[in-house]
């Protein structure tokens, strides 16, 4: 098994597992539907509550980003946020959140030390893809 460090996470995970996680994210983000929006929001909130008291180390750097993604999904779903958000952005965020809330993804979350590395990789990839739209949302959220 080839072990590689995912840039910025400082934790080891197999290269194959990262490739699988990213492939899942890409495939899922091209097939998002309205029901997935609700699943991502409610599941994301539930997962945040579960992990809030002891945030897994791989998620430390992206914790606020995950919260923002969940809030943006909710505000988009309820039509409270009326910003011009491309469907590709929403799809990417929802796919990343669905991956995050699933306990049985490429590297199962219960695996001590590395269980959330793949989740962090998917979140980071999503953030890289949607950064501008999420920043616009953050500005809107602060002013509302």
pLDDT for residue 22: 80
Structure tokens at 111: 């695996």
pLDDT for residue 46: 95
DSSP string, the chain: --EEEPTTT--EEEHHHHHHHHHHHHHHHTS--HHHHHHHHHHHHHHHHHHTTS--GGGGGGHHHHHHHHHHHHHHHTT---S---HHHHHHHHHHHHHHH-SSSSS-TTSTTTTTHHHHHHHHHHHHHHHHHHHHHHHHHHH-
Nearest to 105 by CA among 27, 52, 46, 53: 27
- Percentage of the chain with pLDDT > 70? 89
pLDDT for residue 12: 57
Each of the 144 residues of the chain gets a pLDDT tens digit; together they read 333 344 444 455 677 777 777 877 787 888 888 888 889 999 999 999 999 999 998 899 999 999 999 999 999 999 999 888 999 999 999 999 998 998 777 777 777 667 888 888 889 999 999 999 999 999 999 998
Q: What is the pLDDT of residues 92-117, one digit of tens each?
A: 999 999 989 987 777 777 776 678 88
pTM (two decimals): 0.82
Q: If phi over 0 gives left and psi between -120 and 50 gives alpha, with beta otherwise, what is residue 108?
A: beta
């Amino acid at each position: 098994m080839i072990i590689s460090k995912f840039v910025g996470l400082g934790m080891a995970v197999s290269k194959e597992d990262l490739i699988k996680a990213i492939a899942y994210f890409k495939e899922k983000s091209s097939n998002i539907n309205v029901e997935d929006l609700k699943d991502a929001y409610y599941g994301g909130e539930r997962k945040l509550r579960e992990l809030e008291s002891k945030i897994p180390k791989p998620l430390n750097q992206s914790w606020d980003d995950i919260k923002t993604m969940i809030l943006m999904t909710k505000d988009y779903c309820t039509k409270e946020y009326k910003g011009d958000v491309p469907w590709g952005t929403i799809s990417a965020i929802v796919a990343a959140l669905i991956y995050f809330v699933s306990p049985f993804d490429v590297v199962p979350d219960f695996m001590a030390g590395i269980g959330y590395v793949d989740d962090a990789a998917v979140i980071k990839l999503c953030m890289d893809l949607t950064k501008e739209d999420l920043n616009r949302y953050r500005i809107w959220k602060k002013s509302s």
